[in-house]
Structure 1
Amino acid sequence: MSAPRVVVIGAGFAGLAAALHLTAAGARVTLIEREPRSGGKAGSWRAEGFRFDTGPTVLTMPHVIEATFAAVGRPCTVEMAPSVAGTRYRFASGRVWDVGPDLERTVASLAPSDADAYRRALTRARALYEAAAPTFVHGPAPGLRALMAYALRHGAAASPGSRLPDLLESLGVRGDLRTFFLRFATYFGADPFRAPAVLHNIAWVELGLGTRHVRGGLHAVARALEAALVDLGADVRHGCAARRVGARGGRVREVVTDSGEIAANAVVLAVDRRAAMTMLGRPLGPEREPSLSGLVRLVGVRGVDDRLAQHTVLFPETYEREFLDLRAGRHPRDPTLYLSISSRSDPDDAPVGHENRFVMANAPALPTSTPATESEERAQAGREAMHAAMTRHGFDPAAGVVVERWETPATFAAFGHRGSLYGDAPHGVLAALRAPNRVRALPDVALAGGTVHPGGGVPLALLSGRQAALVVARRLGLPLAVWTA
C-alpha cells in the first residue's frame, strides 16, 4: 500500500512542524510556500555587512524546538544561549531598570513595596500559566468538556470577567511597574487596557521560563527545520502559491496551485485562518477586531551606544494614550519602542564598531477598505512618531545611519489579514481562545498557525503544527512519535 499524500500549505513554523511530524510518520508530504523562502514572518535581511531579523527577535520555550527535532529523530542544530542580560526598560519617569532571570538582582533597584509587588505579580503569573498550559498551550484545541474542567478547577483563580489592569491593581502593582506588566499582553496582540486578566500568564513565560538568543536569528530555526524536513524526504516547493483545496464527497482530492494540481489525501493549511477558509470555499463570517500590527525600522549604524542593551524598551509619557490612538486606527503619536541589537551577542551581525538595530512600535491593523495596503500618509505618520519618540529619549534617529529598511502593516499583510500579527484581538476571555484546528465536514483537513489553537509566536506555532499533524495522522492511520515537550 502506498503512503498517503499530504499537502501542507504555508512554510512558517506551524507548516514546517506539521510537515516534519507527518513525514516522519510515513506520509508523502509536499510543503508549498508562496514566498521564496520558509519561515513566515521570521525572515532575515542582509545589507552592507549587517544582518537583521525581520520578525521575532527573541525565543521563549526553547524546549518546544528541541522536542520537535527529537520527535522526528533528528538532532537539534539550532544554536541557542540563555539571554542572561535580560531587557533594559527606560520609563518616562527617568527610571532605567534592567530586568533579567536573576530575581534578586532584578528587584534590587526597586523600593521595598515595589519589590514585593513584583514578586506577587510574578507568582500570580506563574500560577495562571501553570494552570492554563495543559489545556490551552500543550493540549489539543479544547472542547466544551475541557473548558468546563478548566473552569471548575482553575476558573476563579483566572479572574474571569476581570481585565488585566484590575488584576494588577489587586496585586498592588502601580506606577512604572504597572506599565511594565501591562506590556506583556501585547505579545498576544492585545490592547493591555482591554485584555482579560488571564493574559497576565504571558509574563511568566518570559520572566520565569526565560528567553534564548538564537545565533543567526529566528530565521535560523526555520532553516534548520527545513533542512531536517528535506533530509527526511519531503518535497519542499517555494514560490508555489495555493489557490484552492479541491474536495468532493467530503474528501480532499487535490490542491490547486498557480503551477498546477497536487494530488492529496489530506491537507494542512498553515496560513491565516481567513485565507484558509477562502481556499476551502467556506464563508468567512463577520469581520472581527484584529490584533495589533507592527511598524519596524531596521537600521545599521556606526558606533555603539552603551545606553542601549541588547534588548531595550522605551516607554512613552502616557502608556494608555498609545492605545487610544491604536483604537482610533492611527499610528500612536508617542509609541512604546522595542529595540533589539543582536550584534551584541552575535558579532557577525554587524561590522566592527557598528550596531544592527531592530526598532519596533505597535501599529494598527490596516483598514477594512484597504486590507493589504497602507496609505503613504499614514505610514509616514508612523515613521515620524517613531523618530520623535527616539529623540524624546535622547537618541538621534539619524545619527550614523549606514543602511535602513522599513517593515509596515502592509508588509505583514502578506502573512495575516489586514497585517495583524496574531489574528483576532484577544479582548475578553472567550476572544482570547484561538479557533479550533478542524474544519466541519472536512475530516481530511487541519488548520495550523498563529490564528488557530494555541496561538501566535514561535513555540506556539510549532505546537500548532504538531496538533494539526495529530489530526491528520489519526485520520490516515499514521503513528506519530512520542512527544516529550
Structure 2
Amino acid sequence: MNAISDRASLTPSPAARAASPHAVVIGAGIGGLAAAIRLGARGWRVTVLERCEQPGGRASVFRQDGFTFDAGPTIITAPFLLEELWSLAGKTFADDVTLRRIDPFYRMQFDGGSYIDCSADPAFMRAEVTRLAPADLPGYERFITMTEEIYRIGFEQLGHVPFGSWTDMARVVPDLLRLSGHRSVYALAARFVRDERIRAALSFHTLLVGGNPFKVSAIYALILHLERRHGVHFAMGGTGAIVAGMANLVTGQGNVIRCNTPVDRILTTDGAATGVALADGTTLPADIVVSNACTAFTYKHLLRDTKRRHWTDRKLTAARYSMGLFVWYFGTDRQFPTVPHHAIIMGPRYRGLVDDIFERKYLPGDMSLYLHRPTATDPSLAPPGCDTFYALSPVPNLAGDTNWETHAETYRQAIERRLIETLLPDLAGHVVTSRIMTPADFHTRYASTLGAGFGMEPILTQSAWFRPHNASEDVRNLFIVGAGTHPGAGVPGVLSTARVLDTVVQDVSHYV
C-alpha cells in the first residue's frame, strides 16, 4: 500500500472525528474544497462555508434552457493533483470523473486568417512552426527546452513549497536569474523567435492566470511545459463534475459544506484566529481558519477589526490586480462541427491591447477571445443537435471607468460580431440562450477585489515570498488557499496552494 493510501486508511472514525480539532474553510472554490479534503484526511473536523448557492466558486455551473455552462475554468493540465486528492480520501478519481485528452489543445487563430494548432506532439509542433515561420524552428526548440527546466524548478521543486521567510526567496534567486525570471515571458520568447505570431503562441499563457505577458516573470513559461508534459484534458460533464466529486469527498469524510452562508468576519483572540462570525450574526468557533476567499477581501473585510502589520489596507490598495473578465455564455440551436473544443482568436493588436487592459484600464474597441465549445467533446452539455459555448474576453478590472450596467450588452454584441467575422460566420439567428458575466458580477458574486478574475497580478514582486503567505503573516492559525497566495491562479495553482497546507498546518495533535 502506498504512502497516500496508508494515510487515508488511518482516517479517524466518526466518533473520533467529533472530538477532533475544528477547521473552518471560507469558500468552496477548488482551493477551499481541496483544503477541506486534505485536512479531513489528516483527521480534522471541517466545516466549509460558501457564500453562493453551490460549491465551486469560479468553477461553479450554470444551467439554462437545457444547456450546461462551466462558469470558469475549462482546462485540466495536472490531473495527478486531482488523483492525489481522491487517494487521500480513500477513493479513485477515475471512478468518479472521466477525463478526455484534447489534442491538439487549441487552435490559435491570428488576425488575417493564419493559425497554429498547439499539441503535445513534438513532431506535430515542429511541422506547425515550420508551416508558419520556418526560420524560427531552431529558436522555438531552444525555447521549449528552456521551459522544461523552468517547469522543473518553478513547478516541481517550488510549486508546493511555502515561502514563509525571506530566506526561502533568497535561496531561489540564483535559479530565477539563471532561468531569466527577471525578464517577462514575452521578452524570453522574443529572445528565441522573431515571428510575432509564434511569440504570441509562446507567451499568451500568462493570461490564463491573470498576468500581463509583457510584465509577468518568465518563470510562468512553465505553463507551456505543463501542457506538453501532462496534456490538456476536459472532464466529461464539465469542470462542474470535478467540483461535485470534490464536494462528495468532503462529505464522505464526515465533514460539512454549508452553501448560502456568507462569512462576515474572522474572529481573533490575542492575534490568533478563533472562528468566524456569519452574516446572520451567529458565530462558529474553530481551531484554525482557512480562507479561500479573495485574499484582499480576506484581509480588508474579514479582518477589518484586526490590527495587521503586513497586509494593511494601504498595501492592499496599492497592489496590482489581474485583469477583469467578460464572459458570454450562449447556446445555439444548431451545431458547428468545424469549431474546435478550445480556440483562441487573436485581435489585430497584442501588446497594445494588453497595455490598454492592464496598464491604461481602458476598454478598447478590438479584442482577443477564448472560445470554448465543450460539446465538441461532450454533446450531453446541450440539447440534441445544439452546441454550448462560452466566449471569454480579457477586459480592464474595476479600477477602470467602464460602466458595465450600460456597456455589457453593447460589448456582448461586439463579441458576437467578432465571432461571426472569424470562427462562427453562420452564428446570426442561431443563439437560443444567453447569459453574461462582467467584472462587476465577479465583484458581487465572488467578492473579488476590483472584480479581478484572478486576484493579485502574478508579477515578480507579487509572487512567491512577496505574495500573501499560505500561513498568514498577520494572524496565527489563519491559512490562505486559492489564487491569492503561492503559487497562484489556475487549477494546478490553487490545488497546489492546498497542498502547501500539509506543510504549514501542524498535525491535529498540536491542537488537542
TM-score by length of 2: 0.87
State the 1:470 CA deviation. 4.1
1:164-175 equivalence runs, <5 A: 164-175=185-196
Match of 1:454 in 2: 487
Match of 2:119, as an amino acid? Answer: G
Q: Secondary structure at the residue paired with 2:56? A: coil
Q: Identical aligned pairs, as a percentage?
A: 25
**Take 1:304 and 1:267, find their aligned partners in 2: how far apart are those partners?**
47
Q: Secondary structure at the residue paired with 1:145? A: helix
Contact map agreement 1:189 1:291 (CA 8 A) in 2: yes
Contact map agreement 1:128 1:157 (CA 8 A) in 2: no
1:216-231 equivalence runs, <5 A: 216-231=237-252
Structure 1 unpaired stretches of 5+: 480-485
Match of 1:28 in 2: 45
Among residues 139, 142, 158, which one is paired with 1:136 in the alignment?
158
Match of 1:166, as an amino acid? Answer: A
1:124-273 equivalence runs, <5 A: 124-141=146-163, 143-152=165-174, 154-259=175-280, 260-273=282-295
Contact map agreement 2:185 2:203 (CA 8 A) in 1: yes
Contact map agreement 1:322 1:333 (CA 8 A) in 2: no
Match of 2:5 in 1: none
Contact map agreement 2:76 2:232 (CA 8 A) in 1: yes
**Take 1:271 and 1:394, find their aligned partners in 2: how far apart are those partners?**
36
Among residues 438, 449, 453, which one is paired with 1:408 in the alignment?
438
Match of 2:25, as an amino acid? Answer: V
Q: Secondary structure at the residue paired with 2:230? A: coil
1:5-404 equivalence runs, <5 A: 5-76=22-93, 77-111=96-130, 112-141=134-163, 143-152=165-174, 154-259=175-280, 260-277=282-299, 278-280=301-303, 281=306, 282=308, 283-286=312-315, 287=317, 288-326=319-357, 327-367=359-399, 374-393=403-422, 395-396=424-425, 397-404=427-434
Task: Tell me the C-alpha RMSD between the 2 structures.
Answer: 2.3
State the 1:478 CA deviation. 7.4
Match of 1:57, as an amino acid? Answer: T
Match of 1:430 in 2: 461
Match of 2:473, as an amino acid? Answer: R
Match of 2:207, as an amino acid? Answer: T
Q: Deviations over 1:113-146 (max 9, x none)?
A: 2333332222222211112124431222353233
State the 1:330 CA deviation. 2.6
State the 1:343 CA deviation. 0.8
Runs of 4+ that moved beyond 6 A: none
Range that drifts further, 194-203 or 47-56: 194-203
Match of 1:279, as an amino acid? Answer: L
State the 1:347 CA deviation. 1.3
Q: 1:363 to 1:205 in 2, by over 3 A?
A: same
State the 1:110 CA deviation. 3.2
**Take 2:250 and 2:371, find their aligned partners in 1: how far apart are those partners?**
33
**Take 1:381 and 1:364, find their aligned partners in 2: how far apart are those partners?**
16
Contact map agreement 1:12 1:270 (CA 8 A) in 2: yes
Q: Deviations over 1:38-81 (max 9, x none)?
A: 11101112222221111111111110000111123222222112
Match of 2:232, as an amino acid? Answer: T
Range that drifts further, 386-395 or 93-102: 386-395
Q: 1:38 to 1:470 in 2, by over 3 A?
A: farther
Contact map agreement 2:164 2:471 (CA 8 A) in 1: no
Q: Secondary structure at the residue paired with 1:59? A: coil
Q: 1:118 to 1:368 in 2, by over 3 A?
A: closer
Q: 1:469 to 1:119 in 2, by over 3 A?
A: same
State the 1:291 CA deviation. 0.5
**Take 2:321 and 2:298, find their aligned partners in 1: how far apart are those partners?**
17
Among residues 458, 461, 465, which one is paired with 2:498 in the alignment?
465
State the 1:394 CA deviation. 5.8
Q: Deviations over 1:286-336 (max 9, x none)?
A: 312211121111111122224411111111112122113213223332111
Q: 1:394 to 1:344 in 2, by over 3 A?
A: closer
Q: Secondary structure at the residue paired with 1:169? A: helix
Q: Deviations over 1:438-458 (max 9, x none)?
A: 223532111111101111112
Q: 1:85 to 1:198 in 2, by over 3 A?
A: closer
Contact map agreement 1:25 1:478 (CA 8 A) in 2: no
Contact map agreement 1:449 1:455 (CA 8 A) in 2: yes
Q: 1:300 to 1:144 in 2, by over 3 A?
A: same
**Take 1:475 and 1:151, find their aligned partners in 2: how far apart are those partners?**
34
Contact map agreement 1:26 1:478 (CA 8 A) in 2: no
State the 1:83 CA deviation. 1.4
Q: Secondary structure at the residue paired with 2:432? A: strand
Contact map agreement 1:135 1:146 (CA 8 A) in 2: no
Q: 1:70 to 1:173 in 2, by over 3 A?
A: farther
Q: How many residues end up aligned between the 2 structures?
A: 474
Match of 1:482 in 2: none
Contact map agreement 1:41 1:54 (CA 8 A) in 2: yes
Match of 1:104, as an amino acid? Answer: A
**Take 1:441 and 1:192, find their aligned partners in 2: how far apart are those partners?**
31
Q: 1:228 to 1:389 in 2, by over 3 A?
A: same
Normalized per residue, the structure richer in helix is 2
